[in-house]
Structure 1
Amino acid sequence: MEALKLGYSPCPNDTFLFYALTHGRVESPYPLEAVLEDVETLNLWALEGRLPLTKLSYAAYGRVRDRYVALRSGGALGRGVGPLLVARRPLKDLRGARVAIPGRHTTAFLLLSLFGEGFEPLEVRYDRILPLVAQGEVEAGLIIHESRFTYPAYGLVKVLDLGEWWEGETGLPLPLGAILARRDLGEDRIRALDQAVRRSLEYALAHPEETLPYLKAHAQELSEEVIWAHVRTYVNAFSLDVGAEGEKAVERLFAEAERRGLLPPSSQPLFL
């Protein structure tokens, strides 16, 4: 059969997750073709239903619930994983501030919109945000991925940890991203793919050093220390199975966003 296209980002947590599945270390129920793209590109493609299997920001998932369903495995949720707002100096108020964001469909931007309003967002690729802030082209930057670990090297300070804010408001882990399957694949195929994703992660957890060349080939930051810090931060028990607490966290995020008119409502089940 024709290979199913599988979209994920070049960030270490995603390449770690899919290493075994895309390198023949675990069996896939169907042929897969890896497509590595920035997460906001994947978010935009999902609005078109372009890929049958894809990593997606939860904020973007909130807009495509009628077309996609989240797998139970492979997600990025947790505590201490939140996007950060950074600047050259402390900010007292976001109103009127120009803020570089990694995309309007990212969970980071949704969280910042839930936190406050009145700022001026500037969309740029996530790995360009720190230089823009350091050069003074924007007042602040909303950072994700490896940037969470490297911003001090740019002389920047943390203004806000949106994960801490979310956890303080809700007591729940923060949902960031999930692996989604297009509903038209059918339940049996989706369940088989979910199991394959879990096997891929279990293999990586059992053989982490084997994955490193693949992680380094795609990472923006080549420091092994940063790469493993990234993996430890974003890969956890919720990545193996979202669990009841993870489901509750996603439901709460969507409910808050719907209440504020930031996401449309949907009656579709969120998880496989």
Structure 2
Amino acid sequence: MISVGHSPDADDLFMYYAIVFGWVDSALNQKFENIALDIQTLNEKVLMGELDVSAISFALYPLIKDQYALLRTGVSFGNGYGPKLVKKKGVKLKKNFKVALSGKHTSNALIFRIFYPEARIIYKNFLEIEQAVLSGEVDAGVLIHESILCYDDALEVEVELWDIWQELVKENLPLPLGGMALRRSIPLNRAIDIEKTLIKAVDVALKGKKTLSQMLMQKGIIRVDSQKLDIYLNLYANEDSVVLNSQQKKGLEKMFKLGYDAKIYDRAIENCDDYLIPMEYESLRFN
């Protein structure tokens, strides 16, 4: 049984549930056990080596690259949009403002820490951030997942993390948010089969988007209505989620360089391809 971690937000559920609903099978008849946890908890479990395959924040990857390969599928990038830094309306933030982020190893936390080095950070479950701002526990908070679409009218956006990303990289590259990683100890033929199965799951989900979305809504595990679900999936579970493309790789490499230059990572990752599963093994093996 292959343990697969994913977050309970709509794009992860959408991209994985074609397997749960039996729309996609493994060619090697491998079985999958899905584990739904918030993204920071998944990051921590992967750091401890507790999951075979998992959704991760891309910012985590340089810390686990020796134990996990990066998968090409199930990826989420911002492209003109992304997490939002929100505050109460009319509040002016000081340089050392107190902020709630969704986890130390999340991609939004990496970008935030580089851009706001004097901010006082606390980490909370992403579902608790909006209330922390409203209650005055913090001055501001970074909203992620579906929360970017529907937050309290008493709040306003201080800045979009997309705009911060653009300022940092000086290029029009997609903003890396989340991807998937696979334990390197899994035999290569099985690892290739897992990746191909997950690629099929994302592809099939997109082709059956309307039906799958309805099934997820009926299960009561989606936190937004059907209209917002459609908007959200168009942002984060789309054709660019099936297989990592060249622009996305450039965005990842730029993010990893920013983290290395900021001394958040002790080693640089200069070429993403070096950390992907070598799919060419399959054709060589059977030649």
Q: Structure 2 length normalisation: TM-score?
A: 0.88
Confirm or deny: 8 A CA contact 1:90 1:158 kept in the other structure. no
Confirm or deny: 8 A CA contact 2:100 2:142 kept in the other structure. yes
User: Are 2:104 and 1:104 aligned?
Assistant: yes
**What displacement does 1:90 show?**
5.1
Q: Structure 1 length normalisation: TM-score?
A: 0.93
Name 1:21's counterpart in structure 2.
19
Name 2:284's counterpart in structure 1.
none
Larger Rg belongs to:
2
Name 1:156's counterpart in structure 2.
155
Name 1:218's counterpart in structure 2.
221
Deviations 1:158-200 (A, max 9, x none): 0011112213433211110111101111332222111111111
CA distance in 1 between partners of 2:187 and 2:248 (Å): 24
Identity score, percent: 27
User: Are 2:275 and 1:270 aligned?
Assistant: yes
Q: Give matches, 1:14-93, under 5 Å.
A: 14-28=12-26, 29=28, 30-89=30-89, 93=93
Aligned-partner residue type, residue 19 of structure 1: Y
CA distance in 2 between partners of 1:78 and 1:149 (Å): 14
CA distance in 2 between partners of 1:84 and 1:123 (Å): 16
Q: Give matches, 1:63-212, under 5 Å.
A: 63-89=63-89, 93-151=93-151, 153-168=152-167, 169-212=170-213
**Structure 2: 5+ residue stretches without partners:** 278-287
Aligned-partner residue type, residue 144 of structure 2: I
Count residues in correspondence. 268
Question: After TM superposition, what 4+ stretches of structure 1 lie above 4 angstroms from structure 2?
Answer: 90-94
**What displacement does 1:263 show?**
1.9
Q: Give matches, 1:244-255, under 5 Å.
A: 244-255=246-257
**Structure 1 residues 247, 94: CA separation in 2 closer, same or farther (over 3 Å shift)?**
farther
CA distance in 2 between partners of 1:203 and 1:94 (Å): 47
**Structure 1 residues 91, 80: CA separation in 2 closer, same or farther (over 3 Å shift)?**
farther
CA distance in 2 between partners of 1:55 and 1:4 (Å): 14
RMSD, matched Cα: 1.7
